[in-house]
Amino acid sequence: MSSSVVIRVDASVQMGSGHVMRCATLAEELRSRGATVTFICRKLPGNYIDWLVSRSFEVIALPAPVEGAAAAAGQLAHASWLGVSLEQEIADVHEALSQRPVHDCLIVDHYALDEQWERAARSFAGTVMVVDDLADRRHDCDILLDQNFYLGMQQRYDHLLPSSCKKLLGPTYALLRQEFVAQQSRVKPRDAAVQRVLVFFGGIDAENYTAPAIAALARAARPEVQVDVVIGAQHPARAAIEASCVQHGYRCHVQTSRMAELMAQADLAMGAGGTATWERCCLGLPALTVCVAENQRQLVDDAARAGFIYAPQIEPGDTLEEAFLRHYLALLDNPGLRNFLSRRSLEIVDGRGAARVARLMGSNAIALRLATAGDSASLMAWRNDDAIRAVSRNTAPITAENHQRWFDAVLNDAQRILLIGQHADGHAAGVVRFDVRDDSAEVSIYLVPGMKQRGLGAELLASAEQWLRTARSDIKIIRAEVLGDNQPSHRLFLAASYVRDSTCYFKKVN
């Protein structure tokens, strides 16, 4: 059965488009797994409602703020971003959702909303998930996602969350579009001279950092360097930027769908903090990064200290143009630093954050079914594949007679559970076997030979755990034994939070 998700998020001239963009990325991932996703957005100046509709999402549009009406007020630093009072916000959301069936999950990504709103919204969903990166207010949620890097990030939300809340922290969970995953396999750490520069300061860039960046690049007078400038369709100085790009021979891309491609082709970037930081890191693109909003400051400072980005301090009296020029030239003349930044970036972001988040929300990409007599031939062929035998306890080929004897015994043993994992199109993805003893089950798992999709093993294991929780609630612990040199399996179980004991692993599941 498909899950139902509702997402409360806004974009505006004041807050930019980053919140909507990262939520849309997660929504696409959830939708690819069979979920239905509905957005709730207020009609603020600079909203992205039409853009979401163009992506075939249902959007419930909350009324625009009434001029002269009471705006949001209170102790929250970003209360004004809501555009209306909290009471009006809660009433509008209640009207939008009260006649609908209860959703499986409600996701909220909004600096102007906290535990008061979340508590009021709980009646509309079984699970509440918050996307945040400020850690400046209390939340009443079941899952907290903060995809950014901070020094001491494991303690940032202490005393702000319920004790039972699941925390997903750090760029491991960065919500990046699939195009970035596809491009990552094609990029290498940058170690050559700069031939192409990418300029992007966000979809809206309300303060227009793009203009001084263009001016600085022009003054640098490096004709051998090609420049790509990316802006959103609603950039407040769009016409002037387009004209400036024509004047200097730069390419201007408006609301492009080729961002990952442009980043992969570039040797150096100039841009803002926020989600774009992790997009650049995913593709190993060294970047001159500036903080364009106060809520980005800690992210930018901490990521710079950790060596993922180059974030210069703007000297007193410097114009942005002067600062951009000086630090751009410094990076051009320091290939060692650019290479270091590129390598560090690739280490911290692999692009599979959206899949991880969806999986931990309980949305599985692989469906499991019990094996039947008709699966015997396929299982024998897979089990006898050289790659599968190499990581099995018994590495010898299995005869048809021995296989059938084993297969029949498994199907007739209530304490042995044999499962086939399938993609949405019905094609087999892998095999899972649970051998039950008392309140524990030992898991054996392998992918169908030839399946090279990154992260597929984690998807299969997560689906198997969920199947076991549902079908066998009496099982409290899953155990696994891994051969010493089977490094992929060691990484699989460690990444899935199993506890290691020599070559064995275990995990409490119920």
SS (H, E, C) 80-123: HHHCCCHHHHHHHHHHHHCCCCCEEEEEEECCCCCHHHHHHHHH
Instruction: Please answer whether residues 23 and 109 qualify as being in contact, where contact means their C-beta atoms are separated by less than 8 angstroms.
Output: yes
Under the banding of pLDDT at 50, 70 and 90, the label for residue 68 is: low
Flag whether pLDDT at 1 surpasses 60: no
> 178-348: what fold?
Rossmann fold (3.40.50)
What are the tokens at 48?
């992205």
Q: Is 394 left (phi over 0), alpha (psi -120 to 50) or beta?
A: beta
pTM: 0.82
Helix, coil or strand: residue 498: coil
The pair of three-digit structure tokens given for residue 137, joined into one six-digit string: 């207010």
Chain centroid to CA 425: how far? 24
| CA gap 358, 364 in Å, rounded | 7
Encoded amino acid at 11, one letter:
A
**CA separation for the pair 343, 311 (Å, rounded):** 17
pLDDT at residue 70 tops 80: no
If you classify domain 4-169 with CATH, what class do you get? Answer: alpha beta
Q: For the chain, give every residue range classified as CATH 3.40.630.30.
A: 364-508
SS3 55: coil
CB 423 within 8 A of CB 429: yes
Q: Span 494-506, mean pLDDT?
A: 87
Q: How far is CA 431 from the centre of its chain?
A: 27
What is the rounded average pLDDT of the residues 360-372?
93
Dihedral (C-alpha) 420, 421, 426, 427: value to the nearest 10 degrees?
-90
| pLDDT at residue 146 tops 70 | yes
Per-residue confidence band for 234, with pLDDT thresholds at 50, 70 and 90: confident
pLDDT digits over 4-48, tens only? 999 999 999 888 888 999 999 999 999 999 999 999 999 999 999
Whole-angstrom distance, CA of residue 203 vs CA of residue 13: 10
Q: Give the angle subtended at the CA of 303 by the CAs of 301 and 306, to the nearest 5°.
A: 110
pLDDT tens per residue across span 86-110: 999 999 999 999 999 999 999 999 9
Hey, which residues does 416 pair with through a beta bridge?
Answer: 435
| CB burial of residue 82 (10 Å; 0-12, 13-18, 19+) | buried
Q: How far is CA 240 from CA 14, 76, 192, 208, 211, in A?
A: 21, 36, 33, 11, 8
Residue intervals of the chain classified under CATH 3.40.50.2000 are 178-348
Beta bridge partners of 231: 254
Cα distances from 385 to residues 29, 432, 444, 449, in angstroms, run: 32, 16, 16, 7
Q: Rounded CA gap, 368 and 380, in Å?
A: 19
Distance from C-alpha of 147 to C-alpha of 209, rounded to nearest angstrom: 24
Phi and psi of 332, rounded to 5°? -60, -35
Question: Per CATH, which fold does 364-508 belong to?
Answer: Aminopeptidase (3.40.630)
450 pLDDT above the threshold of 80: yes
